[in-house]
């Protein structure tokens, strides 16, 4: 895998009355959503921040620059092989709410059989990387842990981005990763599907939404993990 994808809600204490409907999340709290991709070292590779808390993870993904990058093919030079098959791009670990795309790998609901249970256990354990990154971000910066008391969205964006950049600087310093120039940051309403012809958009969408490739990747990773488990017994 490359990293894990997930979203976090940051409560907005001073949300304007006129905006409270769209910023109210499923728990009845006004919040702003942070979408992030983090790896095992808790380095945050991608940030998309600023959508109202009334959205869910799928709504955020629909406006995320991740989809633009996939449609442009900017990830196709990161190929890998698993279980004897080659795939053109990296994949991300995600939870069950995300669609069954060729770039996502989710746990299996109600796994049956030792092999499927082992795969689901490994997937759930590895996907906690992004949750650990969120927890570390909140532990380091009290302003992100507590409800935001700012009035302007621009100020809220600046605070969140500042905390994430400082978080990455600490990770880089402590673990000597030398990744200070690798960071994708987007704020505001998201990226529109621009600069694509209809054919490019159609072909790119069909490729990333290919469920057959999604299940093929899932089966190959499952077999690979099962083989590793068998070899570790001896």
pLDDT at 124: 92
* More confident position, 193 or 137: 137
Residue 38 to residue 45: CA distance in whole angstroms: 6
pLDDT at 184: 59
pLDDT at 196: 66
Evaluate if residue 179 carries a pLDDT over 90: no
pLDDT at 69: 78
Detail the DSSP E strand segments found in the chain: 3-11, 31-38, 44-52, 80-82, 85-87, 92-93, 104-105, 184-187
Evaluate if residue 215 carries a pLDDT over 50: yes
Mean pLDDT of 119-136: 93
* More confident position, 75 or 5: 5
Per the prediction, the chain carries an average pLDDT of 86
Mean pLDDT of 201-223: 90
Q: How many CA atoms lie within 13 A of 75 on its CB side?
A: 20
Confidence of residue 200 (pLDDT cuts 50, 70, 90): confident
Confidence of residue 180 (pLDDT cuts 50, 70, 90): low
pLDDT at 78: 76
User: Lowest mean pLDDT: which of 6-15, 57-66, 180-189, 212-221?
Assistant: 180-189
pLDDT at 33: 95
User: Lowest mean pLDDT: which of 92-106, 161-175, 198-212?
Assistant: 198-212
Evaluate if residue 146 carries a pLDDT over 70: yes
Instruction: Read off φ and ψ for residue 66, nearest 5 degrees.
Output: -60, -45
pLDDT at 186: 61
Mean pLDDT of 130-142: 94
Residue 9 carries which DSSP code?
Answer: E
Share of the chain above pLDDT 90, in %: 60
- Indicate the Cα dihedral angle 39, 228, 84, 6, nearest 10°: -20
pLDDT at 229: 85
pLDDT at 192: 47
Domain locations in the chain as residue ranges: 3-232
Is residue 197 helix, strand or coil? coil
pLDDT at 62: 87
């Amino acid at each position: 895998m490359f990293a894990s994808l997930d979203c976090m809600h940051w409560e907005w204490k001073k949300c304007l009355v006129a905006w409270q409907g769209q910023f109210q999340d499923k728990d009845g709290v006004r919040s702003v959503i942070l979408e992030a991709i983090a790896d095992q070292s808790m380095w945050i590779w991608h940030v998309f921040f600023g959508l109202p808390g009334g959205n869910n993870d799928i709504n955020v993904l629909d406006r995320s620059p991740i989809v633009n990058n996939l449609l442009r093919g900017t990830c196709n030079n990161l190929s890998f092989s698993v279980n004897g098959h080659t795939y053109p791009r990296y994949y991300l670990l995600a939870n069950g709410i995300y669609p069954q795309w060729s770039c996502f790998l989710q746990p299996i609901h109600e796994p049956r059989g030792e092999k499927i249970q082992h795969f689901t256990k490994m997937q759930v354990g590895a996907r906690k990387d992004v949750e650990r990154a969120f927890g570390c971000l909140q532990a380091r910066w009290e302003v992100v842990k507590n409800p935001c008391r700012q009035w302007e969205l621009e100020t809220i964006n600046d605070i969140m981005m500042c905390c994430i950049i400082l978080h990455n600087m600490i990770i880089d310093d402590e673990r000597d990763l030398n990744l200070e120039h690798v960071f994708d940051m987007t704020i505001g309403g998201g990226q529109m599907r621009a600069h694509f012809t209809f054919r490019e958009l159609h072909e790119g969408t069909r490729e990333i939404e290919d469920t057959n490739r999604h299940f093929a990747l899932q089966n190959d990773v499952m077999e690979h993990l099962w083989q590793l488990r068998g070899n570790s017994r001896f």
